[in-house]
Amino acid sequence: MENYGEASVIEFARIMRDYLEGRTDVHAYRQNLFGLMKKRTNLNEEESRIVQQAYGDADDYDQAVSLPYTLDEPELKTRIAKSLKDLGVAESD
What is the secondary structure of 62-81 as a DSSP string? Answer: -SS---TT-B-HHHHHHHHH
Name the pLDDT band for 90 (thresholds 50, 70, 90).
Answer: low
pTM: 0.86
Q: What is the pLDDT of residue 85?
A: 96
